[in-house]
Amino acid sequence: MKDEVIITVPSHPKYLSLVRAVTVTMGVQNELDEGVIEHMEHAVDEACSNVIKHAYGGDPGKQIGITLKVTPEAFEVVIEDSGLKADVARIKGRGLDDIKPGGLGVHLIKRACDVVEFDEKKTEGNRLRLVKYLKVKHGNKDKRQ
């Protein structure tokens, strides 16, 4: 079984609620754990916010492609843009003990996903892959939903 949904939304923050709704619906329709769905909703929202803010510099007239896929093994979301290349080495959140505005989004993405990776083969723009494993794989209990 492999259910896949592909959407493209303008890079305007008003469409973030739509992206969240699609993410949640994808999880609910596939009967995923509520905690997994909520965490992934946050991760996808934060990742798309980063695209709008950093890759597109706030330009609302660009496009964000989002592919959501559920298999028996994983909930996977791929987010693509054609904006500025992310400087992966410089992406880090604030220390959680450091109380200041900003820098929380990266933590919300990382806590939701077992895999957070940029496709280095993509020459223009960014392709971010977020994966949450749903079942024990080859004895790795840490990957249990």
Q: Which residues contact another protein (rule: CB under 8 A)?
A: 12-14, 16-17, 20, 38, 41-42, 45-46, 49, 52-53, 96-97, 99-105, 107-108, 111
Nearer to another protein, 7 or 108 (CB): 108
Listed residue (27, 63, 60) closest to 43, CA to CA: 27
**Interhelix angle for 34-50 vs 105-112, to 10°?**
140
Q: How far is the CB of 16 from another protein (least distance, A)?
A: 5
Nearer to another protein, 41 or 76 (CB): 41
Contact residues for 33 (Cβ-Cβ < 8 A; gap 6+):
145
Nearer to another protein, 16 or 84 (CB): 16
